[in-house]
């Protein structure tokens, strides 16, 4: 099964439709399956008194409210109609996370094929129910969550008609320190709930998502930007275009390398078996009728004769003909 790679544009368009389209182009060029944005009406999702997260304060270097910050990063529904069409023209899946009910209704009207639930909504029961009732596949991020939080969210989704659920392990810190990734938690989620799992990454670099694929992730989500030095809350913890492509290329390589799990010689190996393996051969000249023993037999390459695994079956038999030194033994 192909690894589904989500290039997370998020709000790295800085409120510009033109920049958003450039992000679509970058995601397509990287080989990602999907480009994801964030759809919200800022006054519907955060109160005017809500403060920004520490990382947002650090990156934006202002003391504005969270609502004021988000207002500048908001695209209109008309913008998203155009973005959806642009993604269709570019042959890359459009996806956006809805952060309020109006945005859910709007994105549903666009006919998106799946829903991405962000970590912050995992304890929002009315939100989970509304998403589930749309009966489409769900990708659920689990930053800041306990196993009990995940259990309750999965139950709410399943009880209300959700399609297939994929759970993404995630650490909600930007950037995430490597010692807080806890990638093995992804395996615990899979074992505990029997769902497909993946990983939403906020670390710097590309090593961790690649490792997640090797551990069994079926979905990878990673933030990207056109330029990490741009103004905005998420740019610094995002990949630049060349890095995004390197990540996707590496994921495809690991995906190919994982194989089917059946241990057997590959097609390219088969031609090397004769060269690398050994056979039972004559240690010295052996006369016809002579008993084959450890004194007149040895093991050498090539491997197109009797396998050394049959050593004890050969010992004690009689030479059927004259064998020269280094000649393959025949029975």
> What pLDDT was estimated at residue 59?
67
Answer yes or no: is pLDDT of 194 > 90: yes
> What pLDDT was estimated at residue 61?
66
Under DSSP, is residue 265 helix (H, G, I), strand (E, B) or coil?
coil
Q: Summarize the confidence of residues 112-136 as an average pLDDT.
A: 98
Q: Summarize the confidence of residues 292-301 as an average pLDDT.
A: 98
> What pLDDT was estimated at residue 65?
77
DSSP β-ladder status, 219-223 and 4-10: parallel
Q: To which residue do tokens 């993404």 refer?
A: 168
For the ranges 42-56, 172-186, 202-216, 254-268, the lowest mean pLDDT is seen at 42-56
Q: Summarize the confidence of residues 17-29 as an average pLDDT.
A: 98
Residue 281 phi, psi dihedral angles, 5° rounding: -130, 170
pLDDT, tens digit (0-9, with 9 covering 90-100), for 241-279 = 999 999 999 999 999 999 999 999 999 999 999 999 999
Q: Summarize the confidence of residues 133-152 as an average pLDDT.
A: 98
Answer yes or no: is pLDDT of 225 > 80: yes
What's the token pair of residue 176?
């995430």
CB 88 within 8 A of CB 21: no
> What pLDDT was estimated at residue 147?
98
CB atoms within 10 A of CB 229: 9
CB 279 within 8 A of CB 305: yes
Q: Name the band, by pLDDT with cuts 50, 70 and 90, for residue 35.
A: very high
pTM score? 0.90
Name all domains of the chain by residue range, CATH numbers in brackets.
4-258 (3.20.20.70), 267-314 (3.90.1210.10)
The DSSP line for 195-235 is: -EEEEEE-SSSSHHHHHHHHHT-SEEEEEB-S-TTSSSSSG
Burial of 95 (0-12, 13-18, 19+ CB in 10 A): buried
> What pLDDT was estimated at residue 66?
80
Average pLDDT in the chain: 95
> What pLDDT was estimated at residue 46?
87
> What pLDDT was estimated at residue 1?
60
> What pLDDT was estimated at residue 55?
64
Q: Name the band, by pLDDT with cuts 50, 70 and 90, for residue 239.
A: very high
Q: Is the previous residue joined to 302 through a cis bond, with omega within 30 degrees of 0?
A: yes
Answer yes or no: is pLDDT of 320 > 70: yes
Q: Summarize the confidence of residues 14-30 as an average pLDDT.
A: 97
> What pLDDT was estimated at residue 232?
85
> What pLDDT was estimated at residue 157?
98
> What pLDDT was estimated at residue 71?
85
> What pLDDT was estimated at residue 57?
63
Nearest to 246 by CA among 34, 26, 11: 26
What's the token pair of residue 106?
């709007």
Residue 147 to residues 38, 83, 98, 123, 200: CA-CA distances in angstroms? 26, 36, 24, 12, 17
Answer yes or no: is pLDDT of 289 > 90: yes
Ramachandran assignment for 34, one of left (phi > 0), alpha (psi -120 to 50 degrees), beta (any other): beta
């Amino acid at each position: 099964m192909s690894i589904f790679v989500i290039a997370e544009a998020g709000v790295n368009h800085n409120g510009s439709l033109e920049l958003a389209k450039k992000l679509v182009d970058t995601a397509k060029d990287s080989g990602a399956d999907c480009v994801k944005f964030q759809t919200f009406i800022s006054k519907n999702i955060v109160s005017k008194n809500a403060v920004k997260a520490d990382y947002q304060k650090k990156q934006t270097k202002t003391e504005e409210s969270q609502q004021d910050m988000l207002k500048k990063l908001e695209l209109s529904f008309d913008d998203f109609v155009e973005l959806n069409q642009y993604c269709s023209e570019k042959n890359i899946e459009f996806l956006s996370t809805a952060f309020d009910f109006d945005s859910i209704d709007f994105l549903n009207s666009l006919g998106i094929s799946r829903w991405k639930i962000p970590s912050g909504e995992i304890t929002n029961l009315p939100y989970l129910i509304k998403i589930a009732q749309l009966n489409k596949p769900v990708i659920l991020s689990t930053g800041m969550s306990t196993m009990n939080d995940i259990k309750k969210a999965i139950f709410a989704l399943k009880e209300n008609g959700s399609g297939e659920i994929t759970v993404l392990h995630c650490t909600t810190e930007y950037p995430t320190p490597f010692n807080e990734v806890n990638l093995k938690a992804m395996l615990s989620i899979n074992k505990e709930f029997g769902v497909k799992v993946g990983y939403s990454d906020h670390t710097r670099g590309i090593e961790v998502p690649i490792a997640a694929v090797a551990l069994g992730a079926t979905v990878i989500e990673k933030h990207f930007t056109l330029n990490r030095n741009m103004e905005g809350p998420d740019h610094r913890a995002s990949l630049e275009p060349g890095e995004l492509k390197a990540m996707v290329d590496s994921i495809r390589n690991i995906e190919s390398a994982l194989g089917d799990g059946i241990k057997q010689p590959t097609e390219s190996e088969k031609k090397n078996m004769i060269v690398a393996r050994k056979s039972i051969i004559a240690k010295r000249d052996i006369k016809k009728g002579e008993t084959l023993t450890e004194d007149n037999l040895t093991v050498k390459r090539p491997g197109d004769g009797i396998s050394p695994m049959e050593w004890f079956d050969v010992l004690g038999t009689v030479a059927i003909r004259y064998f020269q030194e280094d000649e393959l033994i025949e029975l």
